[in-house]
Structure 1
């Protein structure tokens, strides 16, 4: 039986009523967050961070300049090159006729100016060999299938590999910007279930190796920048910092999950983008912050992640960069200018990432065709095809 829309509609009405009732409370929290940032003291924050580092149930960033600072740019660049990469995947399916996964990488290179040019590509990569499907731990002879969070990490590594290749082939005559979609931080790998082998594979051998290559190219140039772009971010790094200095509760749950009484100055549940939408005017960016240190930070070596927020007219976006970009004022100014230009051309979102996404996307029809191609190829080569009865039943209608 299909979804009962009538019953669903009634529940949606109840949900909407609850949301309406919570809005006023949330707006009050945003006002408290504004008051907290107005009274924020870096010295006080540093002191509290050091004193309570072992007690906090939430992580806070490293702040070296006041979070309320705003920066604009008048640097308009008309001739430049942008390279963007995005990816999507078809995960392993235990009901499928064979075990494999596919990552599709979409790339976009756009040159602006007298020699305007556009290059697009879509590159599927099929992983089907035994040693491609698992992460092996030779110490305890265990294996982890590359699926879920691990597959997302694998795709991120493939994306940055392709971006590095685009950068290496490009000319340094024009200013260049390299863009990825999403976070540079592999937060999904931060868990008790991921061991040293997994973290080494995807962060040290994967992400960091590729960042080293990109850094070596950029350091030879004075006009090339690299960043990841996060649209409509749900981050709370700065809110967490304000909680430390203003919230009377040291619990991350304060005011968030409904199971704990909020303190009088509670700002739990407010997002960074909601706060910065009240601070940044269109075209302005925030201060640059060092991302919260966690158990993964050491694996990034000298590529510690920094970030800032930027008002691209339609929304507050989050930009993540390695510290060798964030600590260079000239590169930061170039990045600021080119991000704004890309968002203007894409009506609120970088046009290059939009095009890269179009190259990378895998439709439902593509997924079905992919399975059909596998089945036909196996049949043609006289290889037995096995699938679950559950999967078989989906193709049959008994009633």
Structure 2
């Protein structure tokens, strides 16, 4: 049991640290804006530096596709329009349960506004109880928990393609989270291909149907665009981190903005219903995306600045990008700060404690029918479910 009285005694220290951090952030934000303004007039120079030395940088940095000072205004959404969305949840495997298996539950939503068409709201569970599937990830050095998370991401993307039909109205495909699968670049090639190839095929189906895809990232922790400013404060003629900074024992000389995030920079640059210039990401995993390289921008949605990611085929087509941003902003407005379709997909996907109990009750019944009479959780799990009071 949590002793809130003892916690309250520590809250004063937390508040003091937060106040000090806020003052430091304001100072760093002002410094970042000064560097931003200085670099805006020499953008071609810094783009050339980035292109020349990208492989030698010790940090991930995105490249601006438009002038830094570009500010776009969101166009109002026109009715009718449609939105499809998917989100996932799971029951993770546990050696303490009656069987070692996992379940992925995908919430799927398709809504058309300004039409008499009924919304489609459902969930699709996927049970995995195959020792070969469960053991395959470990042969690649991937934990079962990580493999489950990767499979869930894949299932969310495939659900979008299943929902997509040849639309009669402008339609948006929304997914909660990044389209850049940052950690997949370190996976074994066989594992990466199993995960990524079906996703890219699903994205291609959206492309052929002209349904723009948007990865919606609330409370983004990214530094990709802010890291571009580090080129402007590098004290060396060439930003060659491998040569100049490998022996730095403390902070690198260009880390003058840490721990600021992109969202703080763009919050100072944008007004509500405005969005930033497009930036191209160069995460290593994107080398395997083919024609689906990822671009991002930041949208001031009123309640927060959100990061939006789109594939290259959306970013390069002005009308399709405008449609994506406009419909995303409309969804945020309808959801009072968070897209309606994503909220509904989450609610359909979430696996509650009661759902988990019923799931294992069903599984226990099937195991008994299969002839396994001694079916029970481990003594540890049974004891944790009981109280001594």
- TM-score with structure 1 setting the length: 0.87
SS class of match (1:82): strand
Q: Deviations over 1:165-196 (max 9, x none)?
A: 1113xx422111111111111113344xx211
SS at match of 1:302: helix
**Structure 1 residues 113, 61: CA separation in 2 closer, same or farther (over 3 Å shift)?**
same
| Partner Cα separation in structure 1 for residue 157 and residue 314 of structure 2 | 16
8 A Cα contact 2:32 2:257, kept in partner = yes
Does the aligned pair in 2 maintain the 1:134–1:143 contact within 8 Å? Answer: no
| In the alignment, structure 1 residue 234 sits paired with structure 2 residue 256 | no
**Stretches of 4+ aligned residues off by more than 4 angstroms:** 143-146, 247-251, 261-265, 396-399
User: 2:161 corresponds to which residue?
Assistant: 164
- More moved, 55-64 vs 299-308: 55-64
Alignment pair present for 1:342 and 2:342: no
SS at match of 2:122: strand
Q: Deviations over 1:24-50 (max 9, x none)?
A: 111100111111111123223223324
Shift of 1:327: 0.6
SS at match of 1:331: helix
Report what 1:106 is aligned to: 107
8 Å contact 1:149–1:188 — kept in the other structure? no
Secondary structure (helix, strand or coil) at the match of 2:60 reads coil
| Aligned-residue offset at 1:199 | 1.1
Of 376, 379, 390, the residue aligned with 2:380 is 390
- Structure 2 CA distance for aligned equivalents of residues 388 and 248 of structure 1: 60
1:129 Cα offset (Å): 1.6
Q: Per the alignment, do residues 112 and 397 of structure 1 end up closer, same or farther by CA in structure 2, a change over 3 Å counting?
A: closer
Per-residue Cα deviation, 1:86-110 (whole angstroms, up to 9, x for no partner)? 1111111121111111111111111
Q: Give yes or no for contact 2:275–2:297 (8 Å, CA) kept in 1.
A: yes
Change (3 A) 1:389 1:331: same
Report the counterpart of residue 15 of structure 1 in structure 2.
Answer: 14
Q: How far apart are the structure 2 equivalents of 1:121 and 1:105?
A: 8
> How far apart are the structure 1 equivalents of 2:234 and 2:163?
46
Kept in 2, the 8 Å contact 1:228–1:320? The answer is: yes
Maintained 8 Å contact 2:224/2:281: yes
- CA offsets per residue over residues 135-175 of structure 1, 9 Å max, x none? 369xxxx355663332222111111111101113xx42211
**What does 1:204-243 correspond to in 2, within 5 Å?**
205-218=197-210, 224-243=211-230
CA distance in structure 1 between the partners assigned to 2:142 and 2:283 by the alignment: 28
Indicate the residue corresponding to 1:256 in structure 2. none
CA displacement at 1:348 relative to structure 2? 1.5
Q: 2:191 matched to which residue of 1?
A: 198
Select between 62-71 and 180-189 the one with higher mean Cα deviation: 62-71
- Residue 127 of structure 2 aligns to a residue whose secondary structure is strand
Gaps of 5+ in 1: 219-223, 252-258
Residue 246 of structure 2: aligned partner = none
Give yes or no for contact 1:183–1:230 (8 Å, CA) kept in 2: yes
Could you tell me which residue of structure 2 aligns to residue 29 of structure 1? Answer: 28
Q: 1:68-217 maps to which residues of 2 (within 5 A)?
A: 68-135=69-136, 142=139, 147-168=144-165, 171-191=166-186, 194-203=187-196, 205-217=197-209
Q: Distance in 1 between matches of 2:348 and 2:47?
A: 45
Residue 381 of structure 1: how far off its partner (Å): 3.5
**Aligned residue in 2 for 1:293:** 283
For these two proteins, the number of residue pairs brought into alignment is 377
CA distance in 2 between counterparts of 1:396 and 1:336 reads 50
Could you tell me how far apart the structure 1 residues matched to 2:101 and 2:171 are?
36
Which of 309, 317, 331 is equivalent to 2:306?
317
Range 231-240 or range 208-217, more displaced: 208-217
Measured in 2, the distance between the counterparts of 1:353 and 1:396 equals: 36
CA spacing shift, 1:342–1:54, aligned 2, 3 Å: closer
Is residue 272 of structure 1 aligned with residue 262 of structure 2? yes
- Residues 84 and 164, structure 2, Cα contact 8 Å, conserved in 1: yes
Cα separation, 1, equivalents of 2:153 and 2:320: 24
